A = this chain, B = another copy of it.
Amino acid sequence: MGVVQLQDNLKQPASIQTLVDLVSQDMAKVNDLILSKAGSNVELIPEISRHLIDSGGKRLRPMLTLAFAKMFDYQGDGHIILAASVEFMHTATLLHDDVVDESDMRRGKLAARKLWGNQASVLVGDYLLGQAFKMMVDVGSLEALRILSEASAVIAEGEVLQLGASQNTSTNEAQYMQIIEAKTAALFAAASEVSPEVSGQSDAVRAAARKFGMDLGLAFQLVDDALDYGGSAKDLGKDVGDDFHEGKITLPIIYALARGTDEDRAFWKRTLEDGQIEDGDLDHAISLLRSTGALDDTIQRARDFGASAIEALASLPDGPCKDALRESVEFCIQRVT
């Protein structure tokens, strides 16, 4: 784990705005491309795509692609296309995720599957994935295609793993880490790695960018999982307790299970495994997660991965891109502290 200390005590809180500003010109092009490529003569496709695209995601993954392209002074428009492809892959995953999780809400709006049905969500996800690969071909880099197609298979593997761990209170920390590395961090890693690749950078530089993305992705997911028991609905765009009601076994739960009394374990088994949730159970869950230090320790794991992500930047060129990427890590962690 990293030895660099995160500057949690900065006078100014870290903001994602530095990264947003850095890539804003390129991001405008990415957004145009996304809108044009989400188009189709088949009416339902742009309708559903736009519902998701307009629903205020942070576009964190394509921002990584754009920031690393800028760091290496990439010339051309490959980074725009790759960034849009990355966002399409992510959007397709969200559509399929909501079907798999039977989610009602996504980013504070009704999930697409509630508006158009599971069937359309599956198929429009497939369409966006197909479009993503078509766009990648346009960039003409087989190596970038290899990185992103590998991520695509790994993400699906992670989702299948998560399905097996769902409502299974014997899931351990190693299994959880394997799941979030695959379902979340792999795309952060790929989004970061493709830019040094198309910019002709060395293997070592590619590996550093990849490691940054991977560790940031892990930190991001750990924070998300902690926020599900501690953040406010407003911050998350979804209600606290979603994971609880879906029986998701996340790291806070794994820690709480290991540290709890027999009575506590019976509580977790009833609520998460058997899905028998009564009024007041979520509050009780949160109080157990706090009293056992499960939330604090999850957040500490996120901090460690954040520090490791920043450490990965050390060998890369100094400048505004590196600064913005570092601040984006701090922002991710500060969401929860």
Interface residues, chain A, with chain B CB atoms under 8 Å away = 40-45, 96, 99-100, 118-120, 122-124, 126-127, 129-131, 133-134, 136-137, 140, 142, 145-146, 149-150, 152-157, 159-161, 163-164
Contacts and interface: CB of A to CB of B under 8 A. Distances in A.
Given A96-B122, A122-B96, A152-B133, A127 B160 contact: yes
Nearest to A153: B130
B130 A164 contact: no
Contact of A164 (B44, B133, B136, B155): B44
A123 B96 contact: yes
A123 B45 contact: no
Given A137-B145, A146-B134, A126 B96 contact: yes
Please tell me how many copies of the chain the complex holds: 2
A285 to B, nearest CB: 24
Contacts of A124: 156, 160
Shortest beta-carbon contacts, A-B, top 4: A130-B153, A130-B152, A127-B156, A133-B149
Contacts of A131: 153
Contact of A99 (B122, B127, B130, B164): B122
Given A127-B153, A130-B155, A137-B146, A160 B96 contact: no
Contacts of A43: 164
Contacts of A161: 42
Contacts of A41: 157
Nearest to A182: B42
11 contacts: A40-B157, A41-B157, A44-B164, A99-B122, A123-B163, A124-B160, A130-B152, A133-B145, A137-B149, A140-B142, A142-B142
Contacts of A123: 96, 100, 156, 159-160, 163
Contact of A157 (B99, B119, B127): B127
Given A99-B122, A164-B44, A129 B152 contact: yes
A134 B163 contact: no
Contacts of A40: 157, 160
B134 A42 contact: no
A321 B96 CA distance: 41
Of the listed residues A42, A120, A127, the one surrounded by the most CB atoms of chain B closer than 10 A to its CB is: A42
Contact of A133 (B99, B118, B122, B133): B133
Contact of A45 (B119, B127, B157): B157
